[in-house]
Amino acid sequence: MSEPVLEVTDLVKTFQVRRARGVRVEKASVQAVSGVSFKVDAGQTLGLVGESGSGKTTVGRCVLRLLEPSGGSIRFKGQELVGMHRNELRGLRKQMQIVFQDPYASLDPKRTVGAAIAEPFEIQGVAGDHGKMVGDLLELVGLAPDHAGRFPHEFSGGQRQRIGIARALALDPALIVLDEPVSALDVSIQAGVVNLLDDLQNELGVAYVFIAHDLAVVRHISDLVAVMYLGKLVELASAAEIYDRPAHPYTQALLSAVPEPDPEIERQRNRIVLEGEVPSPINPPSGCRFRTRCPKAQAICAEQEPLLVDESPGHAVACHFADATPVTVWQDGTFERPVG
């Protein structure tokens, strides 16, 4: 088997924060990412999902060394990135790119989109006709080459995100981290951007780490799905396995919260409602971090942290009471999710 494009092992990221204790200010540590491991092959998409604050974006930024990991290993095409000097890392930057969540904030309003897309060529010293290369990239993402002379305010949100994708593709990367690339877009525009990403992957063979909280979008584009809760992976499997046989109570709750467009199916299914709030990452619960909201929690959950182990071949779950209950798949492609 060929070497994975990206291999993350026991990734840890800790932030130092200050918090008030009456009139005193104390320092505290927040472990935003704790022991996360996964692999992504060429032409494959890993969907990274979870609630806000689960650590998804931190993982993506650590992978690109936009944030310095506190521990663990990040191997890109066999090369260890953790601890790599910035001069060595510079040579790999062209092969690892990112598309940001906000298409309005990620483009300089004072520069034309052509200048924004051409900037990677200038930074990396790429020779050639930059104007033609920019035009080709705009065509690749479904925009006209003559749009290169326009400014960001002349484009819609969906078009701006296409421009961001074109900029990410400029240096022919092997890996792109997509940080909630469609969450700021209208629902009617999201499908077009996701389909574009799918087509580009089929054509170019690029690997994606697709960070999102919209499970419907993740299901459409992902080969693998990793579910995070409070800095930890709680479930990792193929997209089909996650959606047809979710084994972790948190994954089951997330899936049950996705609304169905068909009111008849919506009435038939049961929704899992989680009690309480997400605990503070400064002081996470002992044992299983999900136990304070889990309907299956028992004494062992507070005493012993569950390891991420295979519940079945290729389906890893971190739960003492994992239950991969099959779901009913309807003829129109929707499915009835399990009751917790």
pLDDT digits (tens, 9 = 90+) for 14-69: 998 877 776 677 788 888 999 999 999 999 999 999 988 899 999 999 999 999 99
Pair (296, 229) in one structural domain: no
Task: Report yes or no on 242 lying in a domain.
Answer: yes
What pLDDT digit, counting tens, does each position of 232-282 carry?
999 999 999 998 899 999 998 888 876 666 666 656 666 676 777 888 888
Q: Contact at 8 Å (CB) between 99 and 177?
A: yes
Per the CB < 8 A criterion, the answer to whether 111 and 163 are in contact is no
Identify the domain boundary among 223, 244, 259. Answer: 259
Q: Give how many domains the chain has, as a whole number.
A: 2
Q: What 3-state class would DSSP assign to 7? A: strand
Higher pLDDT, 273 or 224: 224
pLDDT at 330 (0 to 100)? 40
pLDDT category of residue 91 using cuts at 50, 70 and 90: confident
**Which one of 210, 228, 259 terminates a domain?**
259
As a whole number, mean pLDDT of residues 214-238 equals 92
Rounded Cα distance, 17 and 27, in Å: 6
Residues 234 and 287 in one domain: no
Residues with Cβ < 8 Å from 251, sequence gap 6 or more?
A: 227, 234, 235, 242
Q: What single letter denotes the amino acid at residue 310? A: D
Q: What percent of the chain has pLDDT over 70?
A: 89
The pTM (predicted TM-score) of the whole model is 0.88
Structural contact between residues 318 and 306, judged by C-beta atoms closer than 8 angstroms: yes
Burial degree of 326 (CB within 10 A; 0-12, 13-18, 19+):
exposed
Banded model confidence at residue 115, pLDDT cuts 50, 70, 90: very high
Lowest mean pLDDT across 12-21, 130-139, 152-161, 303-312: 12-21
Domain range for residue 264?
A: 260-340
Q: Which distant-in-sequence residues (6+ apart) come within 8 Å of 142 by Cβ?
A: 162, 196
CB neighbour burial string for 66-92, b if at least 16 within 10 angstroms, e if fewer: ebebbebebbbeeeebbebeeeeeeeb
The answer to whether residue 11 sits within a structural domain is: yes
Residues 266 and 240 in one domain: no
Could you give the 3-state DSSP secondary structure of residue 194?
helix
For residue 312, the model assigns a pLDDT of: 87
The pLDDT of residue 3: 87
DSSP state of 152: G
Task: Note whether 81 and 89 are within 8 A (CB).
Answer: yes
* DSSP per-residue codes, 289-330: TTTTT-TT--HHHHHSPPP-EEEETTEEE--TT------EEP
- Residue 274 and residue 250 in one domain: no
Over 50: is that where the pLDDT of 333 sits?
A: no
Average pLDDT, the chain: 88
pLDDT at residue number 70? 95
Instruction: For residue 143, count other CB atoms closer than 10 A to its CB.
Output: 19
225: Cα separation from own chain's centroid: 9
Q: Does residue 162 sit in the same domain as residue 44?
A: yes
Higher pLDDT, 143 or 20: 143
Sheet-wide strand order for 175-179? 96-99, 175-179, 207-212, 45-49, 224-229, 232-238, 315-317, 309-312
pLDDT of residue 165: 96
Same domain, 221 and 322: no
What is the average per-residue pLDDT within 86-111?
Answer: 90
